[in-house]
Amino acid sequence: MSSIAAPPAPAGKRRFLAPDRGRSWDEARVTAIAPESTSGTTLRLAHPEVPELQAGQYYLLRLATPSPPGVVEQAYSVSSSPHPPSAEIEITVREVTGGRISPLLAHHVRVGDLLHVRGPFGFLTWSEEDGGPLLLLGAGSGVAPLMSIVRYAAARGATTPMTVLCSSRDRSTVLFRQPLEKLDRAEPWLSVVHTFTRDSDDSYPRYHRRIDAVMIAEVTAASFGSARADVTYLVAGPPDMVAAVRRALSELGVPDARMASEDHA
Ligand SMILES: Cc1cc2nc3c(=O)[nH]c(=O)nc-3n(C[C@H](O)[C@H](O)[C@H](O)COP(=O)(O)OP(=O)(O)OC[C@H]3O[C@@H](n4cnc5c(N)ncnc54)[C@H](O)[C@@H]3O)c2cc1C
């Protein structure tokens, strides 16, 4: 995170907490807020203690909403590296227009606010023992857990070959464009490939369509060599994207055991 976008808000810092009679939620303090590319907001949250976290996992956040008054729980992936272990994690929120809590997280939560969190959860994870090569396919907020995996690999000094295939509508909606570019330049084991679905004039991405079987086969061959049967595919994004990518992988003969996915519904 490069800049803190919000001023501290000492008064009313509990305003997003709803009563928690069973004490089943942790209180995490927001310690920094920064824009992420042009389409997301990254919040740094300090836990009461260092969590046992794997790269790719997510937390549930629970917020009291002012209008309509209520309590809403949603999942947010950790986008930071779990290494070195830290009480602080980062989540990256894409605002859903008309949504109940993503606009609050993106625009109204301030540094100093307390938020209810519970976790970590999730099985779309990677660590050195899992090996590779890895093709990470993401769209929308699905790029967040993949970012955590790439950052973790870099922080650990891993050399497992990895390619991120990132699908976005256009340049303005690419999450983590600059951090991914920086890691792509710095790390010989990493490649980043973009596809834009709505802007056919921009020469930045390699592809200009939704992810399909031909694209996956080409990217796999270019990244790891065409005869590799040992590639693992991790997929995250909106449910229709995840279903389409899983179908494409099946068409290519990839067994279920070599793919894992997470719907960001
Ligand atoms: C495992 C998991 C991890 C997730 N990680 C992240 C993350 O890292 N970052 C992130 O920003 N989000 C993430 N999400 C999505 C997040 O949990 C919320 O669903 C999202 O922020 C919308 O919440 P909301 O309360 O603002 O919208 P809601 O009030 O739930 O929805 C309002 C309206 O928008 C529609 N809608 C909901 N989500 C979307 C969407 N993504 N795109 C388009 N329309 C939508 C709903 O159908 C509804 O009509 C994740 C979801 C899951 C299941």
Read off the pLDDT of residues 4-56 as tens digits, 9 standing for 90 and up: 444 444 547 999 999 888 889 999 999 999 999 888 999 999 998 898 999 99
Look at residues 121, 143, 161 and tell me which one is the last residue of a structural domain.
121
Strand-pairing partners, residue 196, are 168
Domain residue limits at 198: 128-263
Ligand 1 midpoint to CA 96 (Å): 7
Mean pLDDT taken over the chain: 93
Ligand 1 atom 38: the closest Cα is on which residue? 265
Examine residue 12 and state whether it is found in any structural domain, yes or no.
no
Please indicate whether residue 76, judged by its CB atom, sits closer than 6 Å to ligand 1: yes
Ligand 1 pocket, mutate which of 90, 96, 118, 151 (most atoms under 8 A from CB): 96
- In a domain, residue 49? The reply is yes
247: left (phi over 0), alpha (psi -120 to 50) or beta: alpha
- In the listed set 58, 91, 121, which residue is the last one of a domain according to the structure? 121
Using an 8 Å Cβ cutoff, are 88 and 28 in contact?
no
Average pLDDT over residues 191-216: 96
pLDDT score of 41: 97
pLDDT at 261 over 70: yes
CA of 226 to the centre of ligand 1 (A): 36
Q: Are residues 138 and 225 in the same domain?
A: yes
| 167 shares its domain with 63 | no
pLDDT of residue 262: 98
Q: Read off the pLDDT of each residue in 135-142 and give the average, rounded to a whole number.
A: 98
pLDDT at 2: 55
Closest atom, ligand 1, to C-alpha of 102? 26
Ligand 1, atom 51: closest residue by C-alpha: 264
Identify whether 108 is part of a domain.
yes
Res 112: pLDDT: 96
CA distance 129 to 161: 14
Strands lying side by side in the sheet with 134-139: 190-196, 162-168, 134-139, 232-237, 259-263
| 243-257 pLDDT per residue, tens | 999 999 999 999 999
Asked if residue 37 has its Cβ within 6 Å of ligand 1, the reply is no
Residue identifier of the C-alpha nearest atom 47 of ligand 1? 265
Tell me how many domains the chain contains.
2
Q: Does ligand 1 lie within 6 Å of residue 77's CB atom? A: yes
Distance 111 CA to ligand 1 centre (A): 22
Ligand 1 mean position, distance from CA 28 (Å): 21
pLDDT at 226 over 80: no
Which of 42, 62, 76, 262 has most ligand 1 atoms within 8 Å of its beta carbon, as the pocket-test mutant?
76
3-state secondary structure of 144: helix
Model confidence pLDDT, tens digit, residues 59-105:
999 999 988 889 999 999 999 999 999 999 999 999 999 999 999 99
Domain boundary among 81, 102, 121: 121
> What is the pLDDT at residue 227?
62
Say yes or no: 56 and 161 in one domain: no
Sorted by sequence, the CB contacts under 8 Å of residue 66 that are 6+ apart come out as none
203 has pLDDT over 90: yes
